[in-house]
Amino acid sequence: MNNLRNSVQLIGNLGMNPEIKNLESGKKVAKFSIATNEAYKNDKGEKIENTQWHNLVAWGKTADIIEKYVQKGNEVAIEGKLTNRSYDDKDGNKRYVTEIVVNEILMLGGKN
């Protein structure tokens, strides 16, 4: 059950092409976002659609796969963990970021 302590699984579509960076340390990182959609009917019977955007980051071999095969519009399934971090922007303001560190990715939707 320890694996369930911080585990996220999502299926969604990429909103833009992944941003790939090769760091000075030799590590590769991929940053991208996916949209998940849900629909329900309200009290009046009207269909309501809700879209949530999720920021994702992947490292190493997972980033290599994303760089080669994943692009805007693709449907993917991911598994990872939720992380929070903060940084100071160029104006000295503290910014907070919540993102998912991707451990596994599966491309869905057939061949492109």
Q: What percent of the chain has pLDDT over 70?
A: 95
Task: Over range 72-84, report the average pLDDT.
Answer: 96
H or E element in which residue 54 lies:
strand 47-59
Which of 23, 2, 10 is CA-nearest to residue 105?
10
Q: Could you give the CA distance from residue 8 to residue 100 in angstroms, rounded to a whole number?
A: 8
Q: What is the pLDDT of residue 111?
A: 53
Q: What is the pLDDT of residue 109?
A: 76
Q: In this predicted model, what pLDDT tens digit does every residue of 15-60 receive, in sequence order? A: 999 999 999 999 999 999 999 999 999 999 999 999 999 999 999 9
Which fold is adopted by the domain 2-108? OB fold (Dihydrolipoamide Acetyltransferase, E2P) (2.40.50)
Which residues of the chain form beta strands (DSSP E)?
Answer: 8-14, 19-22, 28-41, 47-59, 75-88, 94-108
Task: Over range 57-85, report the average pLDDT.
Answer: 96
**Within a 10 A sphere around the Cβ of 82, how many other Cβ atoms?**
12
Task: Over range 52-79, report the average pLDDT.
Answer: 96
CB 75 within 8 Å of CB 10: no
